[in-house]
Amino acid sequence: MIALHTRALSKTFKVKRKQAGLAGSFRALMRPEWETKEAVKRIDLTVEAGETVAFLGPNGAGKSTTIKMLTGIMHPTAGEAKVLGFVPWKERNALAYRIGTVFGQKSQLWYHLPPVDTFDLISRIYELTRGDYLTRKRDLVDRFEIGPYMNTPVRKLSLGERMRCEIAASMLHRPRLLFLDEPTIGLDAVVKQRIRELIRERNRTEGTTVFLTSHDAGDVEQLCSRAVVIHHGGILLDEPVEKLKREVLNRKTIWLTLPEGADPLELRGAEGAEVTEKNGRRYRVSVDLKRTGIEQVLRLLIGRIRIEDVSVEDPPLEEIIQHLYRMRKPEEVTT
Amino acid sequence: MSMAGKFGSVIRFLLTCWKVNLASALEYRTSFFLLAGMMFINNLMWLFFWSLFFHRFPVIHGWRLEDVMMLWAVGSGGFGWACVLFGNFPRIAAIVSSGQLDVYMSQPKPVLLNVLASRMSVTAAGDFVFGIVIYAMVGNHTFTGALAFAAGLLISGCLYISVMVIAGCFAFYVGNSEGIAGQVFNSFLALSTYPSDIFKGLTRIALFTIVPAGFISYMPIGLLRSFDPVFAGWSIGVTLLLGVGGALLFKAGLRRYSSGNALAMRS
């Protein structure tokens, strides 16, 4: 069953151009110059029900604009879309009962009130019966482990606690399709991991289709089965994440802090790992996962040298996308 | 869902929204009572100056001090309930131009109603109480008098909301229109607190057309002191026209909504 389908979905904006400085401001006042910016260019996309899709791209690629069109918030300039059988911008109300949205930068929780009050309001917005609401709330509070925060004003919660409440709130009405726009933005590694687990669990147990944008390669790797990369408004790549992992997500970075006087030459010799940067006592080691595993490299290094601090990072998503962009010829990009 | 079912669902939603708003306002109890009390005193000060004026000139173009007091009762009372129940109406332009409609648009409720009811102005509670107190002091306490006052409150509140929704909708068409909306708000508010009969000629015409504050400021004479069916009919007609016009303009404006990337929290 198809959850969403788009055909040549496009959005253009008129953007005012202004020269720098006060003189430029006066010129723009008298003779404004407008430029047409193609935020989304003829996107063709089909997502099956139950899929977990990562919708990726650098800042300004058109990810959020696409999500806003698919949720009925914005009207497209051209093209077609159906989400759960509804045309989003024409049947926004009917669609809203069936989808959930989480905008990492736009909260639906009331800042001065505890989450439980917003949950009550949301139950009215989605017209849940009292009994159904209470059962559902109990289940989500339990699974998301947000019981201790439910009666604390949102302004006093940490970002991670708030995001857990935010995602739980968006699932209160059992959405069949969940749009997540950068749900892990600004969170620490532990909270990110927990949020990914929770979203994955909802996908598994309730069959919720997940459509996610993120700048975090970890979100894609751990949460999604398919990645769609857009660049300059057009689709650059649409592949299973497994394939992406083999082709592109095959490097990780280990940051090491060595004690004073340690011999950095000891870092050499681990196959598939090389020191790519040095900053004081801090070393960046790039690991080729096709040749070796992180665990093997760490075991080898710990056996050879005393280490003060260690952290493992995914390559930044922007780097991966730039890499993909270089790999593909421009004419391959859907425009 | 039947029409009655939809209506019931909207009412239940509004009641919960107001409950949540009140709870949010009461989070800062001291601030709540201070702000509401200050607004009450502020209004009282204006009436004090009017009383000094009428002490010197007891009747101005047929208006007495009691009429001006009732003008303030109906004006501040109407403004008060509108701000308490639909407190976002003066902020539509800011909400649209800063791209804060996203959350409202992703929920299955009428967007305009959802936006309007999502905020409660604490200070306006003082305005509403002030209106009631003045009515208790100098109003007509017969059944018809109370009915006329209630109708006056309803019309004035709806007029404030409708005018500001229309002014706020400019943001869909011209981008940042907070300044224009602010000007409309201030001039409408100011003009609705002066007796309409002191204005003549073009200004008076403007008062019943461009800035329809005259439909509030003439109420003490045309609705409360004696019932003028023509004025009452026009008031209701203009209020309905502006209300429906504002809602349609907002709906049409949503097609042009371009969202934004500003951080937003509901408070």
Domain boundaries, chain A: 2-9+41-243, 250-313
Q: Test A92 with B264 for CB contact under 8 angstroms.
A: no
Min Cα separation A106/chain B (Å) = 5
User: CB of A325 within 8 Å of any CB in chain B?
Assistant: no
How far is Cα B265 from Cα A286, in angstroms, rounded to an integer?
40
Q: Are the beta carbons of A285 and A267 closer than 8 angstroms?
A: yes
Backbone dihedral region of A85: left (phi > 0), alpha (psi from -120 to 50 degrees) or beta? left
Question: Which one of B16, B257, B261 has the shortest CB-CB distance to A121?
Answer: B16
Q: Test A73 with B23 for CB contact under 8 angstroms.
A: no
Q: Reply yes or no on whether the pLDDT at B89 is more than 90.
A: yes
Q: Alpha helices of A48-104 — where are they, by DSSP H?
A: 63-70, 92-96
Ordered strands of the A251-257 beta sheet: A273-279, A282-288, A251-257, A309-313
Q: Residue A214 — φ and ψ, nearest 5°?
A: -160, 160
Q: Reply yes or no on whether the pLDDT at B2 is more than 90.
A: no
How far is Cα B33 from Cα B28, in angstroms, rounded to an integer?
9
Q: Test B23 with A117 for CB contact under 8 angstroms.
A: yes
Q: Chain B residue closest to A128 (CA)?
A: B9
How far is Cα B266 from Cα A121, in angstroms, rounded to an integer?
13
Q: Chain A residue closest to B13 (CA)?
A: A124
Is the model more confident about B53 or about A138? A138
How far is Cα A301 from Cα B76, in angstroms, rounded to an integer?
75
Q: Test A106 with B267 for CB contact under 8 angstroms.
A: no
Q: Which helix (H) or strand (E) holds A41?
A: strand A33-48
Min Cα separation A72/chain B (Å) = 7
Q: Chain B residue closest to A91 (CA)?
A: B108
Min Cα separation B264/chain A (Å) = 5
Q: Which fold has domain A2-9+41-243?
A: Rossmann fold (3.40.50)
Taking the C-alpha atoms of B257, B260, B265 and B267 in order, what is their torsion angle to the nearest 10 degrees? -40
Determine the CATH number of domain A250-313.
Answer: 3.30.70
pLDDT at A317: 67
User: CB of A165 within 8 Å of any CB in chain B?
Assistant: no
Q: Measured between beta carbons, which residues in chain B are less than 8 angstroms from residue A118?
A: 20
Residue appearing with tokens 């604490």: B122
pLDDT at A61: 83
Span A13-30, average pLDDT: 80
Q: Test B108 with A126 for CB contact under 8 angstroms.
A: yes
Question: Which one of A75, A108, A121 has the shortest CB-CB distance to B17?
Answer: A121
Assign B76 a pLDDT band (cuts: 50, 70, 90). Answer: very high
Mean pLDDT of chain A: 86
Q: What is the pTM of this model?
A: 0.81
The two counts, helices (H) then strands (E), for chain B are 13, 1
Q: Test A105 with B264 for CB contact under 8 angstroms.
A: yes
How far is Cα A154 from Cα A108, in angstroms, rounded to an integer?
11
Is the model more confident about A108 or about B86? B86
pLDDT one-digit tens code per residue, A42-79: 999 999 999 999 998 877 888 889 999 999 999 999 99
Predicted-complex ipTM score? 0.80
pLDDT one-digit tens code per residue, A182-240: 888 777 777 788 888 888 988 999 899 999 988 887 888 888 999 998 888 888 889 89
Min Cα separation B36/chain A (Å) = 19
Q: Reply yes or no on whether the pLDDT at A8 is more than 60.
A: yes
Percent pLDDT > 70 in chain A is: 93
Question: Which one of A65, A103, A108 has the shortest CB-CB distance to B266?
Answer: A108
